[in-house]
């Protein structure tokens, strides 16, 4: 069987029909990513393939480090070609890793390069791709978005962000992609975060709200939410280690906040109380604003302290952790339901053991007129592998209504990562095709095709209200 031909991952006749006739031409809505709106507005052009491919992509960085590559060739100041050659050396050894597939999908889709990347072909690939990056106007950031058929994307933005680049993008009539902010109050909800008190001063300046108490931070966050809403924001996002059921009184919360603001030590229990109650407050506002709430949990971040001190956060030193279940999350959603303030909610766990819990939990909070009001999000981060995606789809199907699933996201900092949607769509079509061809579902390609198109695009468009 040829490597990554047009029928890559499509193992049956029905799977091929579903992908080629229904999935392949559907636009993309990337509802959660970490792309830089400044680079979108300025229509950034990349100097070379190393910058376009390796800059900011901690998935690839982890592979390189695992192969013993020195940090100067990963995130340091080594020449671009040396960095690229180091990646080319590790890639053929990464058999079974999705990055092996993603990298070759990117080469083929964006550069029409069918070479298999390895040390022998690396220089030729480098020349082919760099020539196009320098001469092809469609390989600027905006060109990549157009050619990837990205209808809309949501970036990830701090409540203290002034969103000036989002405003510029909204006013730019030449944009083919709708670029919207997503409200992510990471530090504001974490009283143990380094620099918490300094962040509060930053939030004060951004919102014009003087913050000296717990009620003040609620007022500041609310003002930020209203501003984000004016700029077209449709969703919030929360990256948290875990969510414990930890109710607290206003007096307790005021004392916890005051301690953190003074720089005093806060206990783990106090941090959990603060996060639980402030997130509860925020979620009620999301419901009022009509936002989708996204909760990503279960990641142990920045576990390598020397590298954190050297490079800072979000540089590839995070890992998955056993979350211990979803009891706190269930109680949190129930508290919102009791108050009539449960927003549309997407649940992501880094722990694949949570798949059945999240699919069954989601079904407990249905609402008439909304398809999948609470639902499990796509296989996330370390789980967005072939097996991880297929496993998540199967659990979703077995315990929910797969036809209502809102599909894939990139969660990426790389503009060349939209082929991950192709990867997902091939896996989806192969799974549905296998069920039809084995007699587990009627062999009605028209109806199956409509399900594919809903999962790839229509559902997410309707769910968020793009």
Model pLDDT for residues 92-134, shown as the tens digit of each residue: 999 999 999 999 999 999 999 999 999 999 999 999 999 999 9
With contact defined as beta carbons under 8 Å apart, do 252 and 199 qualify?
no
pLDDT at 152 exceeding the cut of 90: yes
- How sure is the predictor about 441, in pLDDT bands with cuts at 50, 70 and 90? very high
pLDDT at 323 exceeding the cut of 90: no
What pLDDT is attached to residue 1? 79
- How sure is the predictor about 26, in pLDDT bands with cuts at 50, 70 and 90? very high
Both tokens of 22, joined, read 């229904």
What pLDDT is attached to residue 68? 97
What pLDDT is attached to residue 448? 98
Q: Nearest 5 degrees, angle CA 52-CA 59-CA 199?
A: 90
Which residue in 309, 25, 48 sits closest to 194, CA to CA?
309
Q: Give the CA distances from residue 268 to residues 115, 187, 335, in Å, rounded to whole numbers and listed in that order.
A: 52, 15, 22
What pLDDT is attached to residue 52? 96
DSSP-H helix ranges across 118-232: 122-135, 141-147, 164-170, 196-207, 214-230
Which residue is listed with tokens 């971040």? 301
For the domain with range 13-43+141-464, which CATH number is right: 3.30.360.10, 3.30.70.260, 3.10.20.90, 3.20.20.140?
Answer: 3.20.20.140
Tens of pLDDT, residues 56-93: 899 999 999 999 999 999 999 999 999 999 999 999 99
70 CB-side CA count, 13 A: 6
Which residue in 433, 323, 342, 329 sits closest to 380, CA to CA?
323
Please, what is the end-to-end C-alpha distance for the chain in angstroms?
41
pLDDT at 399 exceeding the cut of 90: yes
With contact defined as beta carbons under 8 Å apart, do 391 and 352 qualify?
yes
Tens of pLDDT, residues 238-249: 998 889 999 999
Q: Give the pTM.
A: 0.96
Domain limits, CATH 1.10.2020.10, in the chain: 45-139
CATH 1.10.10.10 fits 45-139, yes or no: no
Domain limits, CATH 3.20.20.140, in the chain: 13-43+141-464
């Amino acid at each position: 069987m040829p490597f990554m031909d047009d029928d890559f991952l499509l193992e049956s006749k029905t799977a091929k029909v579903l992908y080629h006739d229904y999935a392949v031409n559907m636009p993309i809505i990337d509802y959660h990513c970490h792309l830089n709106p400044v680079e979108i507005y300025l229509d950034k052009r990349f100097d070379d393939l190393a910058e376009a491919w390796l800059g900011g992509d901690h998935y690839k960085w982890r592979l390189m480090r695992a192969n013993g590559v020195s940090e100067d060739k990963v995130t340091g100041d080594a020449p671009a070609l040396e960095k690229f050659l180091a990646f080319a050396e590790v890639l053929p050894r990464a058999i079974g890793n999705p990055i092996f597939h993603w990298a070759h999908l990117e080469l083929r889709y964006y550069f029409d390069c069918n070479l298999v990347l390895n040390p022998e072909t690396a220089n030729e690939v480098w020349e082919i791709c760099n020539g196009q990056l320098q001469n092809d106007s469609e390989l600027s950031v905006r060109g990549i978005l157009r050619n990837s058929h990205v209808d809309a994307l949501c970036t990830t933005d701090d409540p203290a962000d002034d969103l000036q680049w989002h405003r510029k993008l909204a006013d730019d009539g030449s944009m083919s992609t709708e670029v919207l902010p997503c409200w992510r109050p990471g530090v504001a909800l974490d009283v143990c975060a380094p620099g918490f008190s300094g962040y509060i001063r930053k939030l004060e300046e951004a919102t014009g709200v003087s913050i000296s108490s717990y009620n003040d931070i609620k007022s500041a966050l609310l003002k930020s939410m209203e501003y984000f809403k004016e700029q077209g924001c449709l969703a919030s996002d929360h990256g948290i280690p875990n969510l414990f059921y930890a109710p607290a009184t206003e007096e307790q919360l005021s004392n916890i906040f005051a301690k953190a603001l003074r720089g005093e030590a806060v206990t783990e229990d106090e941090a959990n109380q603060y996060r639980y109650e402030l997130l509860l407050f925020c979620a009620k506002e999301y419901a009022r604003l009509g936002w989708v709430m996204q909760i990503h949990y279960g990641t142990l971040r920045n576990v390598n302290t020397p590298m954190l001190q050297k490079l800072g956060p979000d540089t590839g030193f995070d890992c998955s952790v056993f979350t211990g279940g979803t009891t706190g999350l269930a109680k949190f959603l129930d508290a919102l339901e009791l108050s009539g303030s449960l927003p549309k909610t997407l649940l992501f766990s880094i722990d694949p053991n949570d798949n059945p819990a999240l699919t069954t939990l989601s079904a407990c909070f249905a609402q008439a007129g909304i398809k999948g009001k609470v639902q499990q999000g796509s296989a996330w981060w370390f789980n967005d592998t072939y097996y991880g995606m297929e496993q998540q789809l199967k659990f979703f199907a077995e315990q929910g209504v797969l036809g209502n699933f809102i599909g894939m996201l990139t969660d990426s900092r790389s503009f060349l990562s939209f082929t991950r949607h192709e990867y997902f769509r091939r896996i989806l079509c192969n799974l549905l095709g296998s069920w039809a061809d084995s007699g587990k579902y009627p062999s009605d390609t028209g109806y199956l095709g409509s399900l594919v198109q809903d999962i790839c695009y229509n559902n997410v468009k309707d769910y968020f209200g793009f």
